[in-house]
């Protein structure tokens, strides 16, 4: 089996959607940031900046391998790129991502204005629409490159923030969930 990677910009609703899907499928989900924090005691707050990207990716690979010993299939929510100072997208290593046992990739996208509102509400951080759009574009581009490079199936879902999201994602994942 392996990992179903659920990617998308900050505030798109990855964790919320996965909690809802868990209720229906009982497939566990983990946050990449949470798995890294369990090892390095670094907490990712409102600014989202990462101090050691390469080390964190190595820690995440180790944590995924440990989780796969207990859970043959699980969701991992994370990113193909993160923000560095100045709110500039910083691409994660495709080579490191290729070691994470991704079976399928689900990229969640949303209207940039909605993401801006979500982040302001959740993190009390007012990102500009340009910053959000730039990050979303980088995330999308990196997901497509990774999918093409590795042959990992990629499904792009535009969030509606209603029951449609859960239904649509479960239908997409049906092949993995049933077999």
Task: Report pLDDT for 50.
Answer: 55
Average pLDDT, the chain: 89
Mean pLDDT for 128-152 is 96
Task: Report pLDDT for 38.
Answer: 87
Q: How far apart are CA 32 and CA 115, in angstroms?
A: 20
* Secondary structure (DSSP) of 36-98: HHHHH-----TT---S-HHHHHHHHHHHHHHHHHH-SEEEEEE-SEEEETTTEEEEPPHHHHT
Q: Which domain holds residue 23?
A: 2-177
Could you tell me which of 140, 160, 147 has the C-alpha nearest to residue 20? 160
Q: Is the pTM value of this prediction over 0.85?
A: yes
Count of structural domains within the chain: 1
Task: Report pLDDT for 45.
Answer: 46
Structure tokens at 27: 């497939």
Higher-pLDDT residue of 9 and 41 is 9
Q: Which residues contact 95 (CB under 8 A, 6 or more apart)?
A: none
CATH number (domain holding residue 162): 3.40.50.300
Place 85 in a pLDDT band, splitting at 50, 70 and 90.
Answer: confident
């Amino acid at each position: 089996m392996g990992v179903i990677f659920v990617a998308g910009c900050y505030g798109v609703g990855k964790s919320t959607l996965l909690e809802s899907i868990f209720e229906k499928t009982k497939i566990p989900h983990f946050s990449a940031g949470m798995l890294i924090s369990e090892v390095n005691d670094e907490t990712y707050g409102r600014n989202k900046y990462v101090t050691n990207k390469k080390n964190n990716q190595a820690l995440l690979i180790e944590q995924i391998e440990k989780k796969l010993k207990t859970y043959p299939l699980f969701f991992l929510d994370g990113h193909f790129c993160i923000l560095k100072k100045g709110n500039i997208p910083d691409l994660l290593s495709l080579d490191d991502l290729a070691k994470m046992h991704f079976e399928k990739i689900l990229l969640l996208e949303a209207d940039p204005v909605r993401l801006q509102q979500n982040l302001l509400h959740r993190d009390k951080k007012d990102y500009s629409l340009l910053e959000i759009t730039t990050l979303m574009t980088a995330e999308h581009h990196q997901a497509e490159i990774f999918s093409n490079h590795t042959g990992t199936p990629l499904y792009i879902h535009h969030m509606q923030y209603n029951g449609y999201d859960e239904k649509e994602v479960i239908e997409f994942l049906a092949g993995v969930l049933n077999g």
